[in-house]
Amino acid sequence: MRYGYKASAEQFPPRRLLDLAIAAERAGFESVWTSDHFQPWRHTGGHAPNALVWLGAAAQATERVTLGTSVLTPTFRYNPAVVAQAFATLGCLAPGRVILGVGTGESMNEKPVGVEWPDQKERFARLREAVTLIHRLFEEEFVTFEGEYYKTHAATIYDKPDESVPIYIAASGPAAARLAGRIGDGFICTSGKGEELYTETLLPALQEACTRVDRDPDTIDRMIEMKVSFDPDRARAMEDTKVWSALALSGEQKMGVEDPREMEQLAKGVEDIAHERWLVSDDPDEHVEQVATYVGYGFEHLVFHFPGEDQEAAIARYSELILPRLRARFG
């Protein structure tokens, strides 16, 4: 089991976010993951520091934690060859401590910079092709690639780490989970979406893909972002989730919304149910049981996302009351 911290770039400015990563490392978390947004989920108090720049700083400011993106989209704003170059550089700066987490993306991060947002079928095809190209650039010297969406001509990444950067693939459906099983080093999803999604869809799809390509599924890191609000004051724990009320919007409600001001306005209408996407508790033992449910599903890398403004307090509470209990129970 590994336990990580989500450095939420939509919620905090870059220097504060860096301080939180350092605090998480000191508190005993084993990984730190940052989001890669061009636009945040809300306008008021929203932030969107560049993930690649921030990870370079984090690589130097920390000593042992694994650093990764959860997740970056290597298909629109970024050319996948440039993503490969950037993460190879990060791998040189923090050897063995960098992971590239990728996904198909969100229109709110791409359309504002002029991207024509395609359907899910094309987004998935682009992701599959991009990961294939990035793998080749990591592993080969001169790469000429003729894909449907991306091309390279004798491209070389001149500065590569001795240990290749792992690629984790985010999945909210079976196709992406199968892709992770075929060509990913890890798999990423988020909590709070109902047991059936994990036990009957995502993890079985991952297992099925591994079987088909003769891979040992235990070699794939099964990571999940755990949305947790733990506070001795239960009212405070509930209130903190409201800053992330946009997560309670349905896919239909969020469809086509690219402006953080509009998203913020829509989110106000679901503040009272924002807590439903979070594991909310004021009791350490109860909270460990909540987390244990996901361990039971089969996840082995838990990355904790705290909703409130006082992240330092949340990190300290977890270090004192939750991580020791989890390690005693699960290792």
Active-site residue set: 37, 106
Distance from C-alpha of 214 to C-alpha of 37, rounded to nearest angstrom = 35
Site of tokens 């990984």: 31
Q: How far apart are the first and last CA of the chain?
A: 6
Distance from C-alpha of 142 to C-alpha of 156, rounded to nearest angstrom = 5
Cα-to-chain-centroid distance, residue 313? 22
Contacts of 26 (CB under 8 A, 6+ apart): none
HSE at residue 222, side-chain half, CA atoms within 13 A, is: 25
Site of tokens 């903190």: 240
Query: What tokens does 322 get?
Result: 């939750």
The three-state secondary structure class of 2 is strand
Within a 10 A sphere around the Cβ of 164, how many other Cβ atoms?
14
Q: Which of 229, 219, 212 is nearest to 304 (CA)?
A: 229
Partners of 225 in beta bridges: 190, 303
- Are 322 and 288 a contacting pair, CB within 8 Å? yes
Partners of 187 in beta bridges: 169, 222
Query: What tokens does 217 get?
Result: 């599924």
Distance from C-alpha of 298 to C-alpha of 292, rounded to nearest angstrom = 10
DSSP, res 165: P
